[in-house]
Amino acid sequence: LGAVLEELDFQNEAKNQIRGRTELMEAKLDMVVPEVFPALCGRRVLVMEFVDGHQVGAGDAFLAPEERLQVMTSLVKAYAHGLFVSGHFNGDPHAGNLLVTRRDGKAQCVLLDWGLTKQLSE
8 A C-beta contact, residue 109 and residue 10: no
Q: Mapping DSSP to helix (H, G, I), strand (E, B) and coil, where does residue 76 land?
A: helix
**Which of 25, 4, 11, 2 is CA-nearest to residue 111?**
25
| Angle value at C-alpha 74, between 122 and 19, nearest 5 degrees | 45
Catalytic residue among 60, 92, 104, 113: 92
Number of H helices, E strands in the chain: 4, 6
Contacting residues for 69 by C-beta, under 8 A, at least 6 apart: none
Asked if 104 is an active-site residue, the reply is: no
User: Which residue type sits at 116?
Assistant: L
Catalytic sites, residue numbers: 92
